Structure 1
């Protein structure tokens, strides 16, 4: 490859990296600035008057801790339910003789592309009719349902790579088909399970529209909704909101970091066993 082509590739990669990381870095730096410094002209890129007051105010002046707990409960519950149902559905599609599998895969892809706003009214009516508004179940069920199609497609590809002889050996030793799924197929498909978990957790953690509509009580707000209400009628406290955004980003970053390590480890183990 010529130097000119390599230069263009490096330039394109640099643009992608800057575009992806600059907003996050800017929010992090803004969270350590006082309000007066943020509105100063010319702009100061690095905080000159470094302060943690924005974090103190975010944690004490607003119930960020409560919002954090709500998001954690909803995202964890939705992820567990999504992976459980997706594993069953993926196993059926990968192993059982089901007619019209191509149609089912097409429906899964189509459903995964539905915008949330089109489902808002029927979901709201169902939640209201069941008396689940302002409960964790009101968000856990829809969040899991929205992530199940993609998670199922991810797991199907991993389950199809597991030799059927391993399941047959487990059933000979006394396992049922479901026992073989949970004791053999799922552990050997650890990279796929963690990938599906990442997708489900992040989608639930970041979801805003359903959380705003189905959990209007202040005590039940999730982090994205709670951060939205930090702004006033005539003011927009960017440093305070930036600190709250950093607090909201930490769990997602930790989950992705931990899961990525396990995904790589699972792929390596799978390669050695194969």
Structure 2
């Protein structure tokens, strides 16, 4: 009975993984098909794999420029958001501040606004500051998306750290900032790292602000850049799927390299001693 249950579990797990991975598998298989097989016939696998779509994706549009813009904007957004959110979360969870729950509730509520509802005032702000088609012009609105979520997630991690450690640091004469920098921040590193990955991916995939604020081709990010591959009369699915595969590689590599830290952050505090 146990063997049957184990076999059933692995069959279910295999089906689940296949369903989750199917869109990515299909995109890759399409990217290596010749154009006539993409548009005029249907087959799961091609008998004549080709890299022409990858060459076209890299030469038709400045894909590497889009990737560089996304990497810079996402990285700077993550660094600034984590630095500010971690200090805010520390203050809201470890310091004697009144109405902590109300403040955290308001922080979470601010993350509930759909981007389309705030795009107009943010666009006017960025335009008045003269920051359109620049990195700060995207980092500022991205902060409005990432900061509330980062503060809320980090607050849950900071609450799990024993208060006795902080009290011992106070007895040794440490200031609140020293306690945060030397004790709380290192102990919450797994959670901070997981939050940073989530913020980075959210900034990497953001489309609406990038489409509205950065209209020059040299300032576009990957989601907007890929959408520009289509023309008035045709949709070059080969180029689009090839570009999708290329720009997905950095995220996959990032997750694979730091998967242990991500899992450690997701499971931090889940087991009580």
One fold, TM greater than 0.5?
A: yes
Gaps (5+ residues) in structure 2? none
What residue is the counterpart of 2:249 in the other structure? 250
What residue is the counterpart of 1:102 in the other structure? 101
- Write the mapping of 1:150-229 to structure 2, written as runs, cut at 5 A: 150-173=149-172, 175-229=174-228
**C-alpha distance in 1 between matches for 2:65 and 2:186:** 34
What residue is the counterpart of 1:125 in the other structure? 124
TM-score by length of 2: 0.89
Cα-Cα RMSD: 2.8
Gaps (5+ residues) in structure 1? none
Distance 1:241 1:191, change over 3 A: same
Q: What do residues 53-94 of structure 1 show as CA deviations (whole Å, max 9, x unaligned)?
A: 211221223100100000000000100111011101110111
Instruction: Give the stretch that moved more between structures: 129-138 or 102-111.
Output: 102-111
**C-alpha distance in 2 between matches for 1:269 and 1:14:** 27
Distance 1:82 1:123, change over 3 A: same
Q: Are residues 1:135 and 2:148 paired?
A: no
**C-alpha distance in 2 between matches for 1:232 and 1:213:** 19
TM-score by length of 1: 0.89
Determine if contact 1:188/1:270 at 8 Å carries over to the other structure: no
Instruction: Give the stretch that moved more between structures: 208-217 or 137-146.
Output: 137-146
Distance 1:268 1:195, change over 3 A: closer
Q: Are residues 1:50 and 2:46 paired?
A: no
**C-alpha distance in 2 between matches for 1:35 and 1:241:** 12
Q: What do residues 125-160 of structure 1 show as CA deviations (whole Å, max 9, x unaligned)?
A: 000111111110011121122111111111111111
Determine if contact 2:194/2:261 at 8 Å carries over to the other structure: no
**C-alpha distance in 1 between matches for 2:99 and 2:187:** 27
Determine if contact 1:190/1:263 at 8 Å carries over to the other structure: no
**C-alpha distance in 2 between matches for 1:51 and 1:250:** 19
